Amino acid sequence: MASAAGQPRATEAEEVLYELSDRIATITLNRPAQQNTISGPMLAALSRYLLQADADPDARVIVITATGRFFCAGLDLRGSDITSGLSNPSTASPTLDLRNTPPTVLHNLDTPTVCALNGSAAGYGMDLALGCDIRLMADHAKLAAAFTARGVVPESGGTWILPRLLGWSKAAEIIFTGRTLPAAECEALGLVSRVVPAAEIGAAARALAAEIAANAPLAVQASKRMMRMGMNETFNDHVHHVYLQLLPLFRSEDFREGMQAFLEKRKAEFQGR
């Protein structure tokens, strides 16, 4: 949805906010008047902030959320350069490079990601949420797989993610029908970890992120890498890779701290080394 005629638009920096505190990086879609629909500059900012957080040793968890009542109503298709090239063959690029687009960047992050669905997500917004490792959802929110109703496919990872989350039959039903799922159904299907009252979504996401951030970051990141690799490996190949991943962890300061804290019956203080 585009901004109203004559209404000034926020700058790219204002439309995507970034904050780092208590080892939690929070990326916030900040275009509430347009239901947080995502423009081309916002895509670039989102990728940049995701990579920034992933490279920062002080950022142990990434929380993605939004301001206003909606999480994200999809891509901004009115007057946008996102689809103009695709719909106009004369201006379309002869190459397609998706390496730095948010879905690809998000999938390849080692840092854990938590999506705080403060409101409904449709289309691209739904794929963005599904691309996160963990999802918490406000009780009034919905997920709308409206792609086929608009003449497109889930272009940002949905056709890869949904069958793995739900199995082929249920994923096919949702995608083919373009169905909208209320929060209770999303929780029952396992699309979200937990549904919470809307007023508590930010605090709940931050509490979960803090719980993750308190653990050894090298081990958390390695666990995420192993889970991602395991989706495309045989069991024998996977356990071999897990063993190889254990070797550097055994030599880490965090491993020694974790063992010492266990023996001393105290809380470990991990440094990410």
Name the token pair of 4: 């109203």
Q: Is 244 exposed, middle or buried (0-12, 13-18, 19+ CB in 10 A)?
A: exposed
> Domains (ranges, CATH) in the chain?
12-213 (3.90.226.10), 217-264 (1.10.12)
Burial bucket for residue 220 (CB in 10 Å: 0-12, 13-18, 19+): buried
Structure tokens at 89: 């063959």
Structure tokens at 107: 């999938």
pLDDT (tens digit, 9 = 90+) per residue, 205-217?
999 999 999 999 9
Per-residue pLDDT of 162-177, as tens digits, reads 999 999 999 999 999 9
Please report the pLDDT score of residue 24 as a whole number. Answer: 97
pTM: 0.85
pLDDT recorded at residue 220: 94
Residue 92 has pLDDT above 60, yes or no: no
Secondary structure of the chain as H, E, C letters: CCCCCCCCCCCHHHHEEEEEECCEEEEEECCHHHCCCECHHHHHHHHHHHHHHHHCCCCCEEEEEECCCEEECCECCCCCCCCHHHHCCCCCCCCCCCCCCHHHHHHHCCCCEEEEECCEEECHHHHHHHCCCEEEEECCCEEECCCHHHCCCCCCCHHHHHHHHHCHHHHHHHHHHCCEEEHHHHHHHCCCCEEECHHHHHHHHHHHHHHHHCCCHHHHHHHHHHHHHHCCCCHHHHHHHHHHHHHHHHCCHHHHHHHHHHHHCCCCCCCCC
